Amino acid sequence: MLLEPAAPSKPLKLGVLLSGRGSNFLAIAESIRSGKLANVEIAVVISNVADAGGLISAQELGLPTALHVSKGRARADHDADVLACVREHSVDLIILAGYLRLLSPEFVAALPNRILNIHPSLLPAFPGLDAQHQAFDYGVKIAGCTVHFVDEHLDHGVIILQRAIEVLDEDDANSLSARILAEEHLAYTEAIARVASNQYEIQGRRYIKRYS
Ligand code: GRF
């Protein structure tokens, strides 16, 4: 299923879910502000962590925010609250931006091909936590990031785009992570623009431009 094309007067509404510093969220917000991402708006920023830097930044930007603390709650209960919040804000597309909480199968099934994630490796290599360190320790020569649709498996859904960089001899895991992060900030904007354009379609596992 693809998104319905947004009418010119009706921007695509993003719901950003985050748990931490929120640099990807801020990069997206800046792309919207600067016009690089046209006809897109952030409808709500939702955090599952009270003191997440990204939540504070969103409040400072005057964006609608919501806090749904997940700690100590059953996943299904917490996700039901987040889903209700997303619906309340008429969100079209969910953006996971450092959201450190696995989504329940029910949440994913409720929003097919409407949840995007960014992962700091060239999937399917190095899924899971600390992907940049995993890649560095493995000794790869090319690293990067992936924006993908979320399905019921971890870091697995259809790939929207990837950006690659060379691993330099003088890199350590931290410098590599920083350079991957700079690519993430470009990749998320580009991926959202592709989805918002409604000019792409999913064929099997491939996300490709439509030519009809
Ligand atoms: C990024 O590296 C992203 O790829 C991963 O979590 C990190 C979030 O960073 N999923 P930030 O909070 O957006 O700065």
DSSP line for 99-161: --SPPPHHHHHHSTT-EEEEESS-TTSS-STTHHHHHHHHT-SEEEEEEEE--SSTT-S-EEE
Q: Decide: 45 and 58 in contact? Cβ < 8 Å.
A: yes
The chain-wide mean pLDDT, for the chain, equals 95
Judgement on whether residues 170 and 201 belong to the same structural domain of the protein: yes
Distance 210 CA to ligand 1 centre (A): 30
> Are 155 and 89 contained in the same domain?
no
Amino acid 179: pLDDT: 98
Residue 211: the pLDDT is 83
Indicate if 23 and 96 belong to the same structural domain.
Answer: yes
Beta bridge partners of 16: 45, 95
Q: Convert the pLDDT of each residue in 99-134 to its tens digit.
A: 999 999 999 999 999 999 999 999 999 999 999 999
Residues, the chain? 212
Nearest to 156 by CA among 105, 198, 190: 105
Q: Which domain does 98 fall in, by range? A: 11-111
Gap between the Cα atoms of 72 and 148, Å rounded: 28
The rounded percent of the chain whose pLDDT value lies above 70 is 95
144 and 183 inside one domain = yes
> What pLDDT is attached to residue 186?
98
Residue 39 DSSP symbol: T
Is 119 a catalytic site residue?
A: yes
Looking at the structure, do residues 80 and 47 belong to the same domain, yes or no?
yes
Picking from 111, 130, 164, the residue at the C-terminal end of a domain is 111
| Cβ 118 under 6 angstroms from ligand 1 | yes
Quick check: is 80 in a domain?
A: yes
Question: Which of 68, 78, 89, 119 is an active site residue?
Answer: 119
Q: Does 125 lie in the same domain as 106?
A: no
Instruction: Give the pLDDT mean for 55-67.
Output: 98
Nearest to 3 by CA among 114, 117, 110, 152: 114
- Give a yes or no: residue 2 inside a domain: no
Query: How far away, in angstroms, is 7 Cα from ligand 1 center?
Result: 31
Residue 93 lies in a domain: yes
